[in-house]
Chains A and B, each alone.
Chain A
Protein backbone atom coordinates (compact mmCIF):
# COMPACT_ATOMS: atom_id res chain seq x y z
CA UNK A 1 0.00 0.00 0.00
CA UNK A 2 0.81 3.75 -0.06
CA UNK A 3 2.22 3.85 -3.57
CA UNK A 4 3.02 7.14 -5.29
CA UNK A 5 3.74 7.41 -9.00
CA UNK A 6 5.32 10.19 -11.02
CA UNK A 7 5.21 10.86 -14.71
CA UNK A 8 7.35 11.28 -16.68
CA UNK A 9 10.39 9.63 -15.14
CA UNK A 10 12.65 11.76 -17.27
CA UNK A 11 12.21 14.66 -19.66
CA UNK A 12 14.49 16.70 -21.88
CA UNK A 13 13.25 20.05 -23.11
CA UNK A 14 14.49 23.18 -24.80
CA UNK A 15 15.13 26.36 -22.86
CA UNK A 16 12.03 28.55 -22.69
CA UNK A 17 9.50 25.73 -22.85
CA UNK A 18 7.23 24.54 -20.03
CA UNK A 19 7.22 21.08 -18.54
CA UNK A 20 4.47 19.43 -16.50
CA UNK A 21 5.16 16.66 -13.99
CA UNK A 22 2.35 14.58 -12.54
CA UNK A 23 2.25 12.99 -9.10
CA UNK A 24 -0.42 10.44 -8.24
CA UNK A 25 -1.27 8.54 -5.09
CA UNK A 26 -2.36 5.17 -6.46
CA UNK A 27 -4.01 3.44 -3.51
CA UNK A 28 -4.88 6.21 -1.10
CA UNK A 29 -6.26 9.71 -1.06
CA UNK A 30 -3.83 12.46 -0.23
CA UNK A 31 -5.05 15.79 1.05
CA UNK A 32 -1.46 16.98 1.19
CA UNK A 33 1.32 16.43 -1.30
CA UNK A 34 4.83 17.82 -1.36
CA UNK A 35 7.24 18.77 -4.13
CA UNK A 36 10.97 18.48 -3.61
CA UNK A 37 14.05 19.21 -5.64
CA UNK A 38 17.27 17.29 -5.23
CA UNK A 39 20.68 18.19 -6.60
CA UNK A 40 23.35 15.52 -7.11
CA UNK A 41 24.72 14.13 -3.87
CA UNK A 42 22.59 16.50 -1.83
CA UNK A 43 19.62 16.30 0.45
CA UNK A 44 16.06 17.11 -0.51
CA UNK A 45 14.92 20.70 -0.77
CA UNK A 46 11.23 21.24 -0.11
CA UNK A 47 9.77 23.50 -2.77
CA UNK A 48 6.13 23.63 -1.79
CA UNK A 49 3.31 21.96 0.08
CA UNK A 50 0.23 21.27 -1.98
CA UNK A 51 -3.20 21.00 -0.36
CA UNK A 52 -6.12 19.67 -2.35
CA UNK A 53 -8.51 22.43 -3.39
CA UNK A 54 -6.39 25.32 -2.17
CA UNK A 55 -3.30 27.24 -3.15
CA UNK A 56 0.07 25.67 -2.57
CA UNK A 57 2.36 26.97 0.16
CA UNK A 58 5.78 27.75 -1.25
CA UNK A 59 9.02 27.70 0.68
CA UNK A 60 11.08 30.82 0.93
CA UNK A 61 13.04 31.50 -2.22
CA UNK A 62 10.88 29.35 -4.51
CA UNK A 63 9.20 31.33 -7.28
CA UNK A 64 5.52 30.45 -7.34
CA UNK A 65 5.04 31.90 -10.83
CA UNK A 66 7.80 29.72 -12.19
CA UNK A 67 6.86 26.50 -10.41
CA UNK A 68 3.10 26.22 -10.76
CA UNK A 69 1.45 23.64 -8.56
CA UNK A 70 -2.08 22.34 -8.95
CA UNK A 71 -3.72 19.84 -6.63
CA UNK A 72 -7.15 19.47 -8.15
CA UNK A 73 -8.03 16.06 -6.78
CA UNK A 74 -7.19 13.86 -3.82
CA UNK A 75 -4.98 11.65 -5.96
CA UNK A 76 -3.26 14.06 -8.34
CA UNK A 77 -0.90 16.99 -7.99
CA UNK A 78 0.99 18.57 -10.86
CA UNK A 79 4.12 20.70 -10.99
CA UNK A 80 4.66 22.84 -14.07
CA UNK A 81 8.06 24.36 -14.61
CA UNK A 82 7.36 27.40 -16.75
CA UNK A 83 9.89 28.91 -19.16
CA UNK A 84 12.46 26.37 -18.11
CA UNK A 85 16.14 27.26 -18.17
CA UNK A 86 19.24 25.08 -17.80
CA UNK A 87 19.53 25.99 -14.11
CA UNK A 88 16.15 24.32 -13.57
CA UNK A 89 17.69 20.98 -14.52
CA UNK A 90 17.35 18.77 -11.50
CA UNK A 91 15.69 15.73 -9.97
CA UNK A 92 12.15 16.54 -8.87
CA UNK A 93 10.46 14.26 -6.37
CA UNK A 94 6.91 14.39 -5.09
CA UNK A 95 5.48 12.82 -1.97
CA UNK A 96 2.03 12.31 -0.54
CA UNK A 97 1.13 12.10 3.10
CA UNK A 98 -0.82 9.15 4.46
CA UNK A 99 -1.27 8.47 8.16
CA UNK A 100 1.53 10.75 9.39
CA UNK A 101 4.01 9.39 6.86
CA UNK A 102 5.20 10.81 3.56
CA UNK A 103 5.44 8.33 0.70
CA UNK A 104 7.56 9.29 -2.27
CA UNK A 105 7.29 8.98 -5.99
CA UNK A 106 10.21 7.64 -8.03
CA UNK A 107 11.28 11.10 -9.16
CA UNK A 108 11.52 12.95 -12.48
CA UNK A 109 14.85 13.84 -14.02
CA UNK A 110 14.50 17.17 -15.86
CA UNK A 111 17.18 18.28 -18.28
CA UNK A 112 16.84 21.68 -19.91
CA UNK A 113 19.03 22.25 -22.95
Chain B
Protein backbone atom coordinates (compact mmCIF):
# COMPACT_ATOMS: atom_id res chain seq x y z
CA UNK B 1 0.00 0.00 0.00
CA UNK B 2 1.16 3.51 -0.73
CA UNK B 3 1.95 5.48 2.39
CA UNK B 4 3.91 8.26 4.02
CA UNK B 5 5.39 7.99 7.49
CA UNK B 6 6.57 10.71 9.80
CA UNK B 7 8.02 8.68 12.65
CA UNK B 8 8.24 11.53 15.16
CA UNK B 9 5.12 13.17 16.58
CA UNK B 10 7.23 15.92 18.11
CA UNK B 11 10.68 17.33 17.59
CA UNK B 12 12.30 19.72 20.04
CA UNK B 13 15.36 21.75 19.16
CA UNK B 14 17.13 24.74 20.62
CA UNK B 15 17.17 27.96 18.66
CA UNK B 16 20.25 28.20 16.48
CA UNK B 17 20.74 24.43 16.29
CA UNK B 18 20.16 22.43 13.14
CA UNK B 19 16.80 20.70 12.80
CA UNK B 20 15.64 17.57 10.99
CA UNK B 21 12.08 16.41 10.50
CA UNK B 22 11.92 12.89 9.12
CA UNK B 23 9.76 11.46 6.36
CA UNK B 24 9.76 8.10 4.63
CA UNK B 25 7.48 6.93 1.88
CA UNK B 26 6.26 3.84 0.12
CA UNK B 27 4.93 4.34 -3.40
CA UNK B 28 5.21 2.68 -6.76
CA UNK B 29 7.10 4.48 -9.49
CA UNK B 30 8.98 7.73 -9.17
CA UNK B 31 7.68 9.80 -6.27
CA UNK B 32 6.69 13.43 -6.25
CA UNK B 33 7.40 14.55 -2.66
CA UNK B 34 6.30 17.66 -0.81
CA UNK B 35 6.73 19.41 2.52
CA UNK B 36 4.17 21.81 3.96
CA UNK B 37 4.02 23.80 7.20
CA UNK B 38 0.90 24.65 9.17
CA UNK B 39 0.64 27.34 11.81
CA UNK B 40 -2.20 27.15 14.39
CA UNK B 41 -5.67 27.54 12.91
CA UNK B 42 -4.27 28.20 9.46
CA UNK B 43 -4.09 26.41 6.16
CA UNK B 44 -0.92 24.79 4.88
CA UNK B 45 1.96 26.66 3.33
CA UNK B 46 4.07 25.02 0.65
CA UNK B 47 7.75 24.75 1.58
CA UNK B 48 9.39 22.68 -1.14
CA UNK B 49 9.03 19.74 -3.48
CA UNK B 50 11.07 17.08 -5.22
CA UNK B 51 10.05 15.90 -8.66
CA UNK B 52 13.29 15.14 -10.44
CA UNK B 53 16.86 16.33 -10.68
CA UNK B 54 19.16 17.25 -7.80
CA UNK B 55 18.45 15.23 -4.68
CA UNK B 56 18.91 18.27 -2.45
CA UNK B 57 15.97 20.62 -2.79
CA UNK B 58 15.96 24.13 -1.35
CA UNK B 59 12.72 25.80 -0.36
CA UNK B 60 11.15 28.66 1.54
CA UNK B 61 12.37 30.14 4.84
CA UNK B 62 15.80 28.47 4.59
CA UNK B 63 14.45 24.92 4.60
CA UNK B 64 15.85 22.15 2.44
CA UNK B 65 15.16 18.48 1.98
CA UNK B 66 17.17 15.57 0.66
CA UNK B 67 15.63 12.88 -1.50
CA UNK B 68 17.21 9.50 -0.80
CA UNK B 69 15.89 6.86 -3.15
CA UNK B 70 17.64 3.89 -1.54
CA UNK B 71 16.27 4.77 1.89
CA UNK B 72 12.94 6.02 0.49
CA UNK B 73 13.29 9.12 2.61
CA UNK B 74 12.74 12.84 2.18
CA UNK B 75 13.88 14.45 5.44
CA UNK B 76 13.34 18.17 5.98
CA UNK B 77 16.29 20.14 7.33
CA UNK B 78 17.36 23.62 8.33
CA UNK B 79 20.89 24.56 9.41
CA UNK B 80 19.83 26.99 12.15
CA UNK B 81 16.37 26.84 13.73
CA UNK B 82 14.34 29.90 14.67
CA UNK B 83 11.64 30.13 17.33
CA UNK B 84 9.28 31.21 14.55
CA UNK B 85 9.81 27.83 12.86
CA UNK B 86 7.70 26.24 15.60
CA UNK B 87 4.72 24.75 13.76
CA UNK B 88 3.25 21.53 12.41
CA UNK B 89 5.06 20.02 9.43
CA UNK B 90 3.52 17.64 6.93
CA UNK B 91 5.20 15.43 4.37
CA UNK B 92 3.18 14.29 1.36
CA UNK B 93 3.64 12.17 -1.74
CA UNK B 94 1.64 12.38 -4.95
CA UNK B 95 -0.13 9.27 -6.15
CA UNK B 96 -2.77 8.38 -8.69
CA UNK B 97 -6.05 6.91 -7.47
CA UNK B 98 -8.25 4.34 -9.20
CA UNK B 99 -9.73 7.02 -11.43
CA UNK B 100 -6.25 8.09 -12.55
CA UNK B 101 -6.62 11.35 -10.65
CA UNK B 102 -3.55 12.70 -8.94
CA UNK B 103 -3.82 13.33 -5.20
CA UNK B 104 -1.56 13.66 -2.20
CA UNK B 105 -1.09 11.09 0.53
CA UNK B 106 -0.19 12.74 3.82
CA UNK B 107 1.96 11.90 6.77
CA UNK B 108 0.44 12.41 10.20
CA UNK B 109 2.49 15.51 10.83
CA UNK B 110 5.36 16.40 13.13
CA UNK B 111 5.08 19.19 15.67
CA UNK B 112 8.30 21.17 15.78
CA UNK B 113 9.08 23.18 18.90
CA UNK B 114 12.07 25.50 18.80
CA UNK B 115 13.08 26.63 22.25
CA UNK B 116 14.70 30.04 22.80
Question: Which residues of A approach B to under 8 Å, CB–CB?
Answer: 2, 4, 6, 32, 34, 42-44, 46, 49, 57, 91, 93, 95, 97, 100-107, 109
Contacts and interface: CB of A to CB of B under 8 A. Distances in A.
Interface string B14-56: 0000000000000000001010100001111110010100000
B106 A104 contact: no
Given A42-B108, A43-B109, A57-B101, A6 B43 contact: yes
Contacts, number: 52
Interface of B: 32, 34, 36, 41-46, 49, 51, 90, 94, 97, 99, 101-104, 106-109
Given A104-B44, A107-B41, 7 more contacts: A46-B103, A49-B101, A100-B49, A103-B46, A104-B46, A105-B43, A107-B42
Given A43-B90, A101-B49, A109 B32 contact: no
Contacts of B109: 42-43
Chief secondary structure at chain B's binding surface: strand
B51 A106 contact: no
Nearest to B99: A57
